[in-house]
Amino acid sequence: MSAPLVISIIFIYFFGLLGIASLTAKQTDTRGFFVANRQSPWYLVAFGMIGSSLSGVTFISIPGAVYYNQFSYFQVVLGYLVGYAVIALVLMPLYYRLNLISIYGYLEQRFGTASYRTGAWFFLLSRLIGAAFRLFLAAMVLHIGIFKAWHVPFELTVVLSLFLIWIYTFRGGIKTIVWTDTLQTAFMLLAVGMSIYLIWQELGWSWAQLSDTLGRSGYTKVFFWDDWTSPDYFLKQFWSGAFLALVMTGLDQDMMQKNLTCRTLQDAQKNVFWFSLVLVVVNFAFLLLGALLYVYAQTKGITLPTNEAGKVITDNVYPMLAFNHFGVLAGVCFLLGIVSATYSSADSALTALTTSFTVDILDAERRLEEADRKRLVRRVHIGMAAVMALVMIVFNYINDQSVIQSLFKVAGFTYGPLLGLYAFGLMSKRPVHDRWVPLVCVLAPVFCILLNQYSAQLLWGYKFGFEILIVNGMLTFLGLWAISYPQNTD
């Protein structure tokens, strides 16, 4: 694909987003920015959340990871269904009953101000790193496809990517994003479907031949029961998926902020149930695409990108094939898909970070009048975009593995305290010494980092995968129990 074509597609795409933003941002106050005045149709939220949940990580990293991990990720996806059921039946009623703008307001009511601020800070850290990882992929694709040939530094590509997001989110906030995410999800699903179809067409095989080749390729193994110490073992992956869905959606201001824009609790629950079912199908399609990419490369004799140690850089495989080996139509589909997938996640993350910092940390809802809140929101919005850019640039220098692996590894450490806080709050009525909660929530992930590093030596060869999140949550729960005391019944 030529650079002028790529630039033209991106600018036409963003002009479309700006058009939606101009229509949805009219007369938007800060409550419209935060929760869209709870007027969003549930089916729009459900459809748009698919794109936000998947992001560019799914679009590039999950197909790429098939090279080393086969279809083992689908075990995690099946676990998602359990996590989403808990969100719909337990967490959503809680959030709607308390009429929350920020879901971490629950922690203030249950434990106190220190717990509330701790939960908010852990979300900010988690989502900031997660969103930066996701957006990193889109910036990398733009850099490989356009700017690298022009000798433009990667740092400038990052700044441009975030500037485009900031333009169409700074006025309308979540009210705009509910609508833009719908458009972006449609482009993303169209892109993956077209990619699968066009690769199959270019290979020139019948469906029977394709199915037989994929089965013999060694890439399509789903269930792993052989080695319980392996990170791919089924039970570890399944329950990790359940808890990952619970924390990365149900305890995440970004994802819950969209749900809280629905008119009623029943609408929000319908949204979660339908969204979770569609998500299973879509994730399987991405895994199928990954197997097709490697079968295509083998069939055509294409050399895969590797690092200095000779290890395949799996996150670069799909972009490399799309830009250099597929036809123009397939390349256009890929470009629209990666931009849509990544920006549908990053734009909502930027809005959620702005909301949480403004409401939870700066307490603007209670301290400031509407005019002052608007000015503060815009300043925070710019600041969050700048910090996200910095994290992306740093990650570019240290990344040496699949981004999906990095993302879930970080989630295991940063979302664990949130899991422990909410579990203790919902499963126990014991008060805690609020001032000690931050210490507990810091010590638990620190211990888990050490445990993860030395588990093979300490636990008879056992290697932690995504289930480190569960351990982290349990340690936080036990720590909270240790600083709690019996409820006064007088």
Q: Which residues of 355-390 are buried (b: 16+ CB within 10 A; e: fewer)?
A: bbbbbbbbebbeebeeeebbebbeebbeebbeebbe
Predicted local distance difference test score (pLDDT) of residue 55? 64
Q: What's the pLDDT band for 28 if we cut at 50, 70, 90?
A: low
Alpha-carbon separation of residue 479 from 116, 258, 408, 437 (angstroms)? 17, 32, 23, 8
State the SS3 of 420-463. HHHHHHHHCCCCECHHHHHHHHHHHHHHHHHHHHHHHHHCCCCC
Q: Domain spans of the chain? A: 3-406
Predicted local distance difference test score (pLDDT) of residue 407? 61
Cβ 419 vs Cβ 472: under 8 Å: yes
Q: What's the pLDDT band for 110 if we cut at 50, 70, 90?
A: very high
Q: Say whether pLDDT at 190 is over 90.
A: no
Per-residue pLDDT tens over the stretch 368-417: 777 888 788 888 888 888 888 888 887 777 655 555 566 667 777 888 89
Cβ 290 vs Cβ 402: under 8 Å: no
User: What is the C-alpha separation between 390 and 159, in angstroms, rounded?
Assistant: 9
Comparing 31-35, 54-58, 158-162, 413-417, the range with the smallest average pLDDT is: 31-35
Which residues lie closer than 8 Å to 178 by C-beta, 6 or more apart? 24, 36, 40, 44, 45, 48, 258, 261
Q: Which residue has the higher pLDDT, 251 or 183?
A: 251
Per-residue pLDDT tens over the stretch 253-264: 777 877 777 778
Q: Say whether pLDDT at 29 is over 70.
A: no
Predicted local distance difference test score (pLDDT) of residue 433? 95
Tokens of 183: 């458009």
Determine the average pLDDT of the residues in 75-89. 94
Q: Say whether pLDDT at 35 is over 60.
A: no
Determine the average pLDDT of the residues in 26-34. 51
Per-residue pLDDT tens over the stretch 287-324: 999 999 999 988 888 888 887 777 888 878 888 888 77
Predicted local distance difference test score (pLDDT) of residue 435? 94
Query: What would the CATH number be for the domain defined by 3-406?
Result: 1.20.1730.10
**Percent of the chain predicted with pLDDT > 70:** 81
Determine the average pLDDT of the residues in 113-136. 84
Torsional class of 158: left (φ above 0), alpha (ψ -120 to 50), beta (otherwise): alpha
Q: What's the pLDDT band for 436 if we cut at 50, 70, 90?
A: very high
Q: Which residue has the higher pLDDT, 464 or 380?
A: 380
Predicted local distance difference test score (pLDDT) of residue 405? 60
- Name the DSSP class of 88: I
Q: Which residue has the higher pLDDT, 234 or 351?
A: 234
Predicted local distance difference test score (pLDDT) of residue 344? 63
Q: Which residues of 141-160 are buried (b: 16+ CB within 10 A; e: fewer)?
A: bbbbbbbeeeeeebeebbbb
Predicted local distance difference test score (pLDDT) of residue 54? 65
Predicted structure pTM score: 0.75
